[in-house]
Amino acid sequence: MAKKKFGEGFARLADSTHITQLTVKNTQSGAEHVLPNVPGKQASVRIYFAISRNAKKAISSQQAQIGLQLFGDYVTDELNHPDAHPNIRLLLNIIDNDEVWQVAVK
């Protein structure tokens, strides 16, 4: 089995080692999703941090598309095995439902 690769530009993302966790909150429903900065989740934290670095500190459909590009081959894996990658699934849902999620850095 070929090793999955992150998308183009992933290596150039800002450092996120100073982050303990990200909390992502749906601006309409209030649902929350927590991304701890721990082994196995560090790439997700790095991607979410990068795509939320805007004036609103939020992820909308446009930022979610960029996030999926950065996740690279892992998106295909999520599409083939739903819920294998919950952080990718959240980005897909943001696009599908045209949602906005606020991001808090801790």
Looking at residue 3, its pLDDT comes to: 86
| Mean pLDDT value of segment 58-84 | 97
Closest alpha carbon to 71 in 16, 9, 6: 6
| 45-55 pLDDT tens trace | 999 999 999 99
| Mean pLDDT value of segment 65-79 | 97
Does pLDDT of 5 surpass 70?
A: yes
Percent of the chain with pLDDT over 70: 99
Looking at residue 1, its pLDDT comes to: 65
Half-sphere exposure in the Cβ direction for 7 (13 Å, CA)? 16
Within 8 A by CB and 6+ apart from 28, the residues are: 99, 100
